[in-house]
Structure 1
Amino acid sequence: MNSTKIRDIVERDGPFASLYIDASHNTEDAAHQHELRWRAIKEQLSTAGADRTTVGLLEDALLATPPVPGRCGRVLIADRETLLADEVLPEVPPRDIVRVARLPYVLPLLEQAARQVAHVVALVDRRGSDIYAVDSSNAVVGETVQGEGHPLHKIRHGGGWSAWSIQHRVDEKIRRNIDEVAREVTRLAEQVRARVIIIGGEVTSRAALADALPAHGAEVVQVEAGARAAGADQTEFDEQVYAIVSEQAEQEQHSVLEKFATESGRPEGLAVAGLAATTAALAEANVDQLLINEAALGDRLVQTEPAPIHPVDEVQVAAGDTRAASICRADEALPVAALNCGAAITPVDEAGAIPEGVGALLRHR
């Protein structure tokens, strides 16, 4: 799910129920465990104040959808009218999270979106290529380019002029096939605004494809895995694709952190750190990029009404502050505020990278 779809969620009126749960189906008694887990979650939802309609929407989604084999997580978000999100997570959450609140809890969805770097994958041999592209919302666009037919095998013996002529035609067909594949890879890369193009398959063909691609913004990476043959095991190739895309996402996060550090080190730099300064920037719609480390942010609270958004003292809340209805968890309120003002959001993994777990790159001073 990309930030545009997440923004559609945060624009709705609450309350919301947000679930991030273990949805693994990798044991003989997985179905029974799934049912027991839902009973516990349902009880937590009721205790937290979720109404029957919201609970019913979540229950229908959880119990009616066939399980995904293996280990995975799942996120579901619903309000009183609609199931707003139902996504499989590639990793199991460290613990089940069940929240009922005035705002939706979308930060883990944003963390998943941050790992979804647009890319193109091409698996090539002399006859053509299997190609697919993945856009920034993790939607897959696929097409297979087969190339031109036969003969596509090299001549490995003598034969004079006739053999040379056949060999020349073979080389020309292979070159045209590679050029055709390069055009399709380029088209898909431009369509999804790819950050990286990953090429696997036959050694000579993938090198030729890399040379045939025009210069553009995407990084081109060749991997020594993958084959187009029917029934070929693509596990290693898929793992390498995942690793390359993950590395690209980490590089982009690192670039944002480097910019944040540079701006923070300048007297009039376009960066602020800490909860108070960040909420002040959000209140002024002056955030270009919100940086947030959920672990470091912890259970801090903010008040959203009356505006502007600002931190509150947990002691006041514990003492029964009359404004408690407008007090929210910062890890819920800050992403919502950032999305509402059109800011990008970068979840940060590096411990200690930003004070109090939150900071912002500003639009102006």
Structure 2
Amino acid sequence: MRLSFLEPLYAEPGPYVSVYLDTSRNTEHPERAIALRWRRLRESLSRQGADRGLLNVLEEAVGSDTEVPGVHGQTLFAAHGTLVLNGELPWPPEHDSARYGTLPEAMPLVTQHVPEIPYMAVVVHYGGLPTAETHGWVTLEAETGTWPASTVTSGERLHRRVPVATWHRTALGLGHRLDERARRAHADAVVVGGDEWACNVLVRRLPHTLRGKVVRVAGPTPTDTGRALLEPQLDGVFRGRMAAHDRELVNVFIGRRALAGPMAEGLAATVAALQRGQVSALLLNRPPESSLRLWVGSRPTQLALSEAELTSFGVPAPREERADEALVRALVGTGAELVVVPEGELMLQEGVGALLRYADAGTPS
């Protein structure tokens, strides 16, 4: 996955406040619950040293995702009295948390975007006589997105209402419209739900390349939930699956490993490649444990396993930070991608590896 959406986080130096908060609205008094959770986090941030002005900026944004119904979360990042990122989380955080530190705690936000699978969802409803295919209407709604983030940040929808008598003919033209949308979104899959007869007509008239991506799903298909189309079914289709783009990168890594091509594996080799801006994609079996630390300087490529290493490169005043925070900053700062790959797909030495842009040695800038 590409991490360009995190660039605002690193436009200014820290310190940063990072907040992860359950803002679900599936309870009787959600605003009261959210306010109580925030009050606990605000007290914690005050003890950590965050000033009142920064806390007030955050408080204005807490719970501002009122348009998102159901179970979800919110993440907020602020620095120097300014809110720098306000995002929705597809799922509530495991625990509400707030940190005040020199680097933003971005990895939990990143992991809620994984596996970032582009898709198109299509719902087709037939409203007519149960024994006739010439009366009533067929309604179609289609929406492209990237799972799982799009469950709470759904995109523009295509809506069509067609007389049943013309559905066979109209479905052909709609199929080409859907194909155009799916191509623009680079959709890995087309998830189709709704009434069986109307869905069958549409699927048979889709262009061949799009038809091969169709996944039919059953179950309720409401279109007015305020969430992504087919949200419950999307979870069943995509959970445990990798995006096609990420799988291609994993296959490239496997090939380079076999042929001693430009790749790195293990923490030391990967950090050395990040120092030189060599990494085009970082592969992780899982996010690093919070106890794992790296030494960093003021620039994204200034990171190392030890203070002495950074000092030897002339980096002034290195400091020790959480490895996940240092790695995300390095990836964003160098334009590298992140691929979280299950161990069952590829076991990495120390859980980390990298595809390299080039194989030359160098030193960190």
TM tier relative to shorter chain: 0.7 to 0.9
**Quick one: distance in 2 between partners of 1:189 and 1:63?**
33
How far apart are the structure 1 equivalents of 2:170 and 2:355?
46
| 5+ residue gaps, structure 2 | 127-132, 310-314, 360-365
The answer to whether 1:326 aligns with 2:341 is no
Q: Provide, for residues 120-173 of structure 1, a one-character-per-residue CA deviation record: whole Å limited to 9, x for no partner.
A: 1222247444222234473412011223x3xx4xxxxxxxxxxxxxxxxx5xx3
1:131 pairs with one of 128, 134, 141: 141
Distance 2:343 2:156 in 1: 33
Higher helix share: 1
Residue of 177, 186, 190 corresponding to 1:197? 190
How far apart are residue 15 of structure 1 and its match?
Answer: 1.6
Q: Which residue of 1 aligns with 2:276?
A: 284
Change in CA separation of 1:39 and 1:201 when aligned onto 2, cut-off 3 Å: closer
Q: Deviations over 1:27-58 (max 9, x none)?
A: 55655543333232112212322233321111
Query: Of 238, 246, 266, which aligns to 1:274?
Result: 266
- Partners of 2:292 and 2:302 lie apart in 1 by 13
Rounded to whole Å, the distance in 1 between the matches of 2:51 and 2:341 is 34
User: Is structure 2 residue 160 aligned with structure 1 residue 145?
Assistant: yes
Indicate if the aligned counterparts of 1:25 and 1:67 stay in contact, CA closer than 8 A. Answer: no
Asked if residue 362 in structure 1 is aligned to residue 325 in structure 2, the reply is no
Distance 1:64 1:253 in 2: 33
Compared with structure 1, are the counterparts of its residues 306 and 53 closer, same or farther at alpha carbon in structure 2 (3 Å cutoff)? closer
Separation in 1, partners of 2:228, 2:88? 20
Query: How far apart are the structure 1 equivalents of 2:274 and 2:290?
Result: 19
How many angstroms apart in 2 are the aligned matches of 1:288 and 1:33?
Answer: 43
CA distance in 1 between partners of 2:95 and 2:155 (Å) = 30
Contact (CA 8 Å) 1:49, 1:100: kept in 2 or not?
yes
Q: What is the CA-CA distance between 1:115 and the residue it aligns to?
A: 3.5
Matched, 1:304 2:314: no
Q: Identify the match of residue 347 of structure 1 among 332, 340, 343.
A: 340
Residue 83 of structure 1 is matched in structure 2 by 83
Q: Which amino acid aligns with 1:132?
A: A
Partner of 1:114: 114
- Residue 156 of structure 1 aligns with which residue? none
Q: Does structure 2 conserve the Cα–Cα contact (< 8 Å) formed by 1:73 and 1:93?
A: yes
Q: Distance in 2 between matches of 1:78 and 1:26?
A: 27
Q: Tell me how far apart the structure 1 counterparts of residues 43 and 144 of structure 2 sit (CA, whole Å).
A: 39
Match of 1:177 among 170, 176, 190: 170
Q: TM-score, normalised by structure 2?
A: 0.77
Q: Which moved more, 1:249-258 or 1:238-247?
A: 249-258
- Between the two proteins, what is the percent identity of the paired residues? 27
Change (3 A) 1:355 1:286: same
TM-score, scaled relative to structure 1: 0.77
Q: Which moved more, 1:219-228 or 1:277-286?
A: 219-228
Describe the SS at the equivalent of 1:118.
strand
Secondary structure at the residue paired with 2:156?
strand
The one-letter amino acid paired with 2:215 is V
**Cα deviations across residues 235-254 of structure 1 (Å, max 9, x unaligned)?**
99541133224354467656
The one-letter code matched in structure 2 to 1:113 is H
CA distance in 2, matches of 1:28, 1:297: 36
Q: Does the CA contact (< 8 Å) of 1:135 and 1:193 recur in 2?
A: no
Paired with 1:42 and 1:227, the residues of 2 have a C-alpha distance of 40
> Which position in structure 2 is the counterpart of 1:167?
none
Larger CA deviation: 337-346 vs 201-210: 201-210
Contact 1:288 1:362 in 2 (8 A): yes
**Greater Cα offset, 1-10 or 247-256:** 247-256
How far, CA to CA, are the matches of 2:228 and 2:340 in structure 1?
Answer: 29
In 1, Cα distance between equivalents of 2:88 and 2:205:
37
Distance 1:196 1:251, change over 3 A: same
Is 1:16 the counterpart of 2:26? The answer is no
Alignment partners' CA distance in 2, 1:300 and 1:5:
25
Aligned-residue offset at 1:79: 1.1
Q: Report what 1:95 is aligned to.
A: 95
Counterparts of 1:208 and 1:315 in 2: how far apart (Å)? 67
CA–CA distance in 1 between the matches of 2:275 and 2:224? 56
Aligned length: 335
Distance 1:54 1:236 in 2: 37
